[in-house]
Amino acid sequence: MSEQKLSGEVFYPSKEVIEKANAKCRHLYESAEKDFLGFWETEANELHWFKKWDNVLDDSKKPLYKWFTKGMTNIAYNCLDVHLNNARRNKLAFIWEGERGEFRSYSYFALHRETNKFANVLRSLGVKKGDRVTIYMGRVPELAIAMLACARIGAIHSVVYGGFSVEALHERLEDSQSKVLIVADGAYQRGKIVELKKIADEALQRAATVESVLVVKRTGHEIVMQPGRDMWYHELMHLPIAHSDDSVEKMDAEDPLFLLYTSGTTGKPKAIMHTHGGYMVGTYTTLKYVFDIHEQDRYWCAADPGWITGHSYIVYGPLLNGATSFMYEGAPTHPYPNRWWQMIEKYGINILYTAPTAIRGLMKFGEAWPNRHNLSSLRLLGSVGEPINPEAWRWYHKVIGNEKCPIMDTWWQTETGSFMITPLPCTPLKPGSGTKPFPGIKADVVNEEGKSVKPNEEGYLVIKTPWPSMLRTIWNDPERYVKQYWNRFPGMYMTGDSAKKDEDGYFWIIGRVDDVIKVSGYRLGTAEIESALVSHPSVAEAAAIGLPHEIKGNAIYAYVILRTGYEKSEKLIEELRLHVGHEVGPIAKPEKIEIVESLPKTRSGKIMRRVLKAKALGQDPGNLSTLEE
Ligand code: PRX
């Protein structure tokens, strides 16, 4: 690819990077182009199946695609058991550092043992194949152990991000009808304790299906344990029952593996469902080629396991590849802005995968902090979650990567399960572009009629053929799955993003076209924030929008109409911000709340958020013909 003449600012990977890469670029793209099912089948054959599939893809009931039909496997078996009889047995699977500097590590042997013990604990509590288990913790190894233990026995995990709060957790427990909640007593965040168990207790008051609550001791602060419902993880793990069995549930490739709630255009967050077979093949293949995992590498994905990035690229992808993965509990700038650089030096990290918001946040403190550390172990860098602005890209490339580490700007979604548009280590890079679709993925930018647009024209980003790690449905709402993703452009998966493709075929993501706001890379729906606001007694109506923010990418601005009898005051505004924090989580707290007399609406009563946005930015609001007043 490197002989290609490309337009604009281009960074060519070095010969060493290209030669070392697992991905032999031209060959990989060409073989996937010729036969995309054959491409995925070759990859699937590298994993363990108790029984091989009949068909790689069943597309007889579009868009209800099935992959590796009648194949039998188990993703947790492929993450752990397969490594026990080879040189990886004693290799480190996880290295973990706590915010307060504690250190723990797990070999593949140890991680298998702990997972198996916890799988038995879950079994002893009556958890069976297909049951839902919610997990609510900070970034600790027990979170991965809990996920893997669920997968091992065929239970469906639903991880709720530890930064979410009472109402968000309650909704997810209810919607998934979880039988068990696994929670930590607390989590450390910038030196303070987030009281996870206390939040859970409040959420549990209204969650009728939860029979048992298993509590991981992380902070050790005082919590209330409800007799008959709450049990300590460490106590259960010491019981003989934990050693009773080491069997693995043989799963159909299409059996659900997990639910992960994410924000959509309307209403409550929806549970995206992924499966054992296809998701396994997608995460395994993409990580191997994009982050170029080699046996001796130490890889660090700095995301939270509570989000898809953590599911796919802290837990499943790395373990499927037999990698050594580093996990850090805390914030990048605590206690000082060199925390990450210190750990890269200390643990000899080779690959760092993070989000533009973190890069911008660290950039703010200047070069002196990273320059104090030896970062020469780094070989590859990664970015995810939102478009990376070229300035942050260049800083990351120069200051952190010493101009020798290619940046893998990976575009994908909770729904896609794994990378969709991304460079490979051998791809010439343009700052701010995710470059090209991964081999086997057919992406395009189309207009209102679903026709490909011309180079550099903005349009809707779509995916034109199915891929193994695609979501299979929305839990409890299969109709919405079809309506939301497949009805807009028949036969194409609608991503919800707008994008452009340049004259070299490079994709440039512009942003969401729906009412989803990306705050520090986290996905929030305007509907969630608005319903949190109107649940406060003083609020009659509310509208939330995202406005550009230097570090966070977007910040939330909310407009509120008060009920009669309430007076506008700074105190009330602060109370409303805290209320959103309590209901949804601190990340959803609006940056600013403005009390207004009315909101711009269409004649059918829909709030015109684009008008609010244009007004806040001092821009022309465009066509106002549908505005009511
Ligand atoms: O708008 C895109 C943005 O994040 C959305 C998906 O969010 P979520 O499901 O939370 O998953 C985030 C992590 C995979 C997309 O629709 N997005 C994600 N990665 C990028 C991005 N936008 C631009 N460039 C990226 N690399």
Per-residue pLDDT band for 629 (boundaries 50, 70, 90) equals low
Q: What is the mean pLDDT of residues 434-450?
A: 97
* Pairwise CA distance, residues 84 & 413, whole Å: 32
- Residues forming beta bridges with residue 187, ordered by sequence position: 194
**Residue 265 CB less than 6 A away from ligand 1:** no
Q: Does 3 score more than 60 pLDDT?
A: no
Contacts of 33 (CB under 8 A, 6+ apart): 439
Distance from C-alpha of 137 to C-alpha of 98, rounded to nearest angstrom: 13
444 pLDDT more than 90: yes
Q: Is the pLDDT of residue 197 over 70?
A: yes
> Ligand 1: which residue has its CA nearest to atom 25?
411
Q: Is 304 in the pocket of ligand 1 (CB under 6 A)?
A: no
> Is residue 626 scored above 80 in pLDDT?
no
Residue nearest to atom 7 of ligand 1 (CA): 413
67-81, 234-248, 529-543, 597-611: least confident range: 597-611
Atom of ligand 1 nearest to the CA of 412: 14
Question: Are residues 556 and 528 in contact, defined by beta-carbon separation less than 8 angstroms?
Answer: no
- Is the pLDDT confidence value at 266 over 80? no
User: Taking 90 as the threshold, does the pLDDT of residue 569 lie above it?
Assistant: yes
Q: At a CB cut-off of 8 Å and minimum separation 6, what does 153 contact?
A: 119, 122, 123, 127, 128, 129, 249
The chain-wide mean pLDDT, for the chain, equals 95
> How many angstroms separate the Cα of 128 from the Cα of each of 119, 152, 264, 476?
10, 11, 30, 19
What's the CA-to-centroid distance between 376 and ligand 1, angstroms? 29
pLDDT at residue 4 tops 70: no
Q: What is the pLDDT of residues 484-504, one digit of tens each?
A: 999 999 999 999 999 999 999
Q: Which of 279, 307, 312, 411 to mutate to test the pocket of ligand 1 (most atoms within 8 A of CB)?
A: 411
- What's the mean pLDDT in 218-240? 97
Q: Is 270 in the pocket of ligand 1 (CB under 6 A)?
A: no
| 3-state SS class at 494 | strand
Tell me the pLDDT band of 506, cut-offs 50, 70 and 90.
Answer: very high
Can you give the pLDDT at residue 232? 98
Q: Is 387 in the pocket of ligand 1 (CB under 6 A)?
A: yes
Determine the distance separating the centroid of ligand 1 and the alpha carbon of 547, expressed in angstroms.
17
Is residue 1's pLDDT more than 50? no
Question: Does the pLDDT value for residue 7 go beyond 70?
Answer: yes
Q: How far is the CA of 82 from the centre of ligand 1 (A)?
A: 32
- What's the CA-to-centroid distance between 372 and ligand 1, angstroms? 32
Per-residue pLDDT, 264 = 75
Residue 564 alpha carbon to ligand 1 centre in Å: 40
Q: Which amino acid is at 276?
A: H
Q: Is 262 in the pocket of ligand 1 (CB under 6 A)?
A: yes
SS3 381: strand
Question: Is the CB–ligand 1 distance for residue 489 below 6 Å?
Answer: no
For residue 244, is pLDDT > 90? no
Average pLDDT for 391-415? 97
- Residue 421 CA: nearest ligand 1 atom is 26
What whole-number percentage of the chain has pLDDT above 70? 99
Q: Tell me, in angstroms, the distance from the centre of ligand 1 to residue 354's CA.
A: 12
Stated pTM of the model: 0.95
Span from the CA of 115 to the centroid of ligand 1 (angstroms): 30
Q: Is the CB of 497 under 6 A from ligand 1?
A: yes
Question: Is the CB of 519 inside a 6 Å radius of any atom of ligand 1?
Answer: no
